[in-house]
Homo-oligomer: A and B are copies of this chain.
């Protein structure tokens, strides 16, 4: 079991993944965070017809004879009201967004007009097309506006709505089973006896997976017994598309997960050269992909973000890109280590500082701040250096 780089781990996972979910139609209003299974192609022009960019008067430019020549106001066109063709030699009162009547080629903003209700005096008239937004200017019929694989954001739903689409084709939510192992784990609300600790990974992972749009199937804590673990993993392989466990895959004698997964499928233990987070297992249980995260909560958190997330997104069919770190000024000194390090950090207008107990296994280090400094293997960081930071928000 040699050490591999994060890049190699991600590459191996990428090569072994495929989209595990089918498609379904849902209502647009249920679409937030869902993943498009088909492109969205506009069936309409936006705007659908030439319309007015201003409140003012629509006319045929050549009908204007000068600032003293009054034009009869022959109609009034509000947004949403279909106009009549423009009577020759007249002007139409028109409002922003309203359709330009046939026969008009120009809109003059109201500030340049004087009107008495019956007729209007117009100071000056622009070129044909002035203050008119032409049909299809923004989106032409047949344009692909969103592609399959897009995780839908609020503005994407707005865009789809603006094209008149009310049902969309999305990927079924990826079902992810989670289970923890560890005799020492107690549920919050119970009393922790001597040597016992509260199960934090379960709450954290459920929330991370839900946040990413997956359907979580929670198997709780499996007793550290090969028979029990085997039963849980078998059930999980039936009920979920992917299985994620925490704990049980290090080299300790009490870890039975490895042997069980091996008996039901296969498992590879990787030592990924990142800190926190070294031990990581990948394999399958009766055909269902299996990800074994470390038991240490901070390691589980970091490996879930940087290793599990991109893999699960691939299984869900999300076309995601690598997260782009932002550059900030270091407010700390830190020697590099042989492994890539994710230093839990907090950013402010002056720069980025790091939590002073980076070795700690408690989640407090991840809650204290809002992101992580990415320190490359062997890279020494000095106060004032420009460093790479990944805000947690970017992993949402």
Q: What chain B residues lie within 8 Å of A81 (beta carbons)?
A: 183, 195
Chain A 274-291, CB-CB to B under 8 Å as 1, else 0, gives 000000000000000000
In A336-390, the 8 Å CB interface with B consists of: 347-349, 357, 360-364, 366-367
A160 within 8 A of B: yes
A228 within 8 A of B: no
Asked if residues A155 and B197 are in contact (CB atoms below 8 Å), the reply is no
Chain A 211-231, CB-CB to B under 8 Å as 1, else 0, gives 100000000000000000000
Question: Which of B96, B154, B183 makes the CB contact (< 8 A) with A204?
Answer: B154
Copies in the complex: 2
Asked if residues B204 and A78 are in contact (CB atoms below 8 Å), the reply is no
Q: What chain B residues lie within 8 Å of A253 (beta carbons)?
A: 55, 95
Asked if residues A199 and B161 are in contact (CB atoms below 8 Å), the reply is yes
A241 within 8 A of B: no
Which one of A4-12, A44-52, A65-73 contacts B? A44-52
Residues of A in contact (CB 8 Å), total 100
Minimal beta-carbon separation of A188 from chain B (angstroms): 4
A396 within 8 A of B: yes
In A126-146, the 8 Å CB interface with B consists of: 133, 137-139, 145-146
Known: A80-B195, A81-B183, A156-B367. A164 touches B139 (CB 8 A): no
Chain A 163-174, CB-CB to B under 8 Å as 1, else 0, gives 111110000000
Asked if residues A211 and B32 are in contact (CB atoms below 8 Å), the reply is yes
Question: Which of B31, B198, B324, B348 makes the CB contact (< 8 A) with A324?
Answer: B348
Asked if residues A195 and B83 are in contact (CB atoms below 8 Å), the reply is yes
Asked if residues B145 and A367 are in contact (CB atoms below 8 Å), the reply is yes
A333 within 8 A of B: no
Q: What chain B residues lie within 8 Å of A193 (beta carbons)?
A: 82
Asked if residues A252 and B95 are in contact (CB atoms below 8 Å), the reply is yes
Known: A162-B197, A164-B192, A364-B159. A138 touches B357 (CB 8 A): yes
Which positions in A face B, CB cutoff 8 Å? 28-29, 31-32, 44, 46-49, 51, 55, 77-83, 95-99, 133, 137-139, 145-146, 153-167, 182-208, 210-211, 250-254, 297, 301, 324, 326-328, 347-349, 357, 360-364, 366-367, 391-394, 396
